[in-house]
Amino acid sequence: MKGKAAHCDWKSAAQRKPSPCDRYKHACVICRGFVYLYGGRNTTSLRDFWRYNIARNEWEKLDCSGDGPGELEEHSMVAYKGTLYIFGGMVDSAFTQAKTPLWMYDTDSAGWTEGRDVPAEMESLAPTNRKGHSAVVHHASMYIYGGYVGIRGISQEFWTFHFDTRTWLYVSTPPHSTGPGPRHGHSAVVYRAAMYLFGGLVGLSEQKDLWKWDFGNSSWHNIRTSQGPPPAVGHASVVFKDSMLVLGGGISNSSPNEDLWKYHFHTQTWKKLSSITKASFSPKMYHCVLGIGSGFQTTSDFTNTSPWKNKKHHHQLVTIPKHSHFCSYFRQQPAYRVFSNQDSGAIEMKTFSFPLEPVGFCAFQTTSEVEQDPKRTTSVLVKDRSAPLFLSSEKETFAAAALVEQEEGTSCQPAAAGDEVRSDANVLLLIGGKPLSSFSEISFWQMGFDGFSPL
């Protein structure tokens, strides 16, 4: 179905109880087949912590006591090697001004670790509390830009946190590289060896500029285009194939928009996709957008190849259990279980006819854990129709879509009940946002997103 536009419908994902209340200014991330959600704002700041099992369509409330965060809003959350990193978002007070607001959650042990406080005389060695900043992962580090820093106002600070050493470093830029300047409420994504930052608030003025940070030569570049999204704050961005998708947001104290824009990294051009998408929800601000499928990524660890264009794949078959809502996008397949005989050293292998993306790039993996820590996953599988798919240290089902070699088609229509669904489907999730829904459970929307006509 090439060269022919197809409409993509947003569908509401019915939530089972228990489920989080609706909210905005929260943080979400995908890690090992689960969506993790923390905090945000409803009528007040929230401190609850939830995990959504994508395969089972089930929410579970997790413990955030002990060394976990308190109430947070406009914070960030990223994942690396099975650990979640939450930064910023604390309610402003004299206490927060001298505190490094960083918390780490180990998904294996379900335990929290609080980042070390920095003495007042050494504040320059680590970032202090802020809101509305951006956070991305590149290789073994998290990069934090901007934000609103209490009485100090809007920041243009650029920090990196090295996961393995747990140390902060201020990112210095060349004198000739001015950069985006102070801002908050913007979005940022990583594609290959660069970070792309869009929009946000500078003072009281919403922006529509696009900036590129080159990790290789440590410099900023302003990308000037003839068209693109209008000025926006509180929007969300995600990488899909060779493009950045920007959804929602808008002008402060005004109605948000429902526009979906696509920026193609190679051609440096924008395309408005709203004309071929249909939204049944109110336009959103301060929401979260996540992508599930082989075409989505949020880090740049595959810097030399485009996984969806690689024809020399290994083969493996994995499954997503089917239910009437979310998983209707995927074809149900028999399950396989990770297996290795450590006693004899023998390996039992099967050859499958379904291609697997390069190591670490599975349908529900958007934070580069496997390629950063390849020992966590055994690549040898043995067929077992009665067992779910497990990763080496994961005790719950890890749902992943069987990938097939993708065509640059335009079909993005979700299948009706009973239809056979392509196993290379990609799904865009929209979670929460302002205005809040009229229902008590969190606003949760999905759209089958198998791409649009190439630019």
Distance CA 200, CA 204 (A): 10
- Average pLDDT of the segment spanning 284-306: 69
Task: Report the chain's mean pLDDT, rounded to a whole number.
Answer: 74
* Residues 89 and 38: beta-carbon distance below 8 Å: no
- Average pLDDT of the segment spanning 298-322: 35
Span 72-131, pLDDT tens digits: 999 999 999 999 999 999 987 666 666 789 999 999 999 999 987 655 555 568 899 999
pLDDT at position 192 over 90: yes
Of 12 and 305, which is predicted with more confidence?
A: 12
Domains recognised in the chain with CATH numbers: 8-305+424-448 (2.120.10.80)
- At residue 10, the pLDDT reads 85
Span 125-170, pLDDT tens digits: 889 999 999 999 999 999 999 999 988 899 999 999 999 999 999 9
Task: Tell me the three state secondary structure of residue 264.
Answer: strand
CA atoms within 13 A on the CB side of 354: 18
Distance CA 449, CA 259 (A): 15
Span 359-381, pLDDT tens digits: 222 333 344 433 344 344 333 23
Start-to-end C-alpha separation, the chain: 16
Nearest to 290 by CA among 21, 16, 33: 33
pLDDT at position 312 over 70: no
- At residue 326, the pLDDT reads 46
Of 262 and 412, which is predicted with more confidence?
A: 262
Query: 391-394 long-range contacts, Cβ below 8 Å, gap at least 24?
Result: 391/32, 391/338, 392/338, 393/82, 393/108, 394/32, 394/33
pLDDT at position 267 over 50: yes
Res. 194 pLDDT band, cuts 50 70 90: very high
Task: Tell me the three state secondary structure of residue 188.
Answer: strand
- At residue 440, the pLDDT reads 86
Is beta strand 277-278 parallel, antiparallel or unpaired with respect to 8-9? parallel
Helix (H) or strand (E) holding 290: strand 288-292
- Average pLDDT of the segment spanning 185-195: 97
pLDDT at position 69 over 60: yes
What pTM does this model have?
0.76
Task: Tell me the three state secondary structure of residue 326.
Answer: helix
- At residue 414, the pLDDT reads 37
pLDDT at position 453 over 80: no
Range in 311-320, 337-346, 443-452 the model is least confident about:
311-320
Res. 7 pLDDT band, cuts 50 70 90: low
Res. 402 pLDDT band, cuts 50 70 90: very low
Strands of 194-202's sheet in order across: 187-191, 194-202, 205-214, 219-223
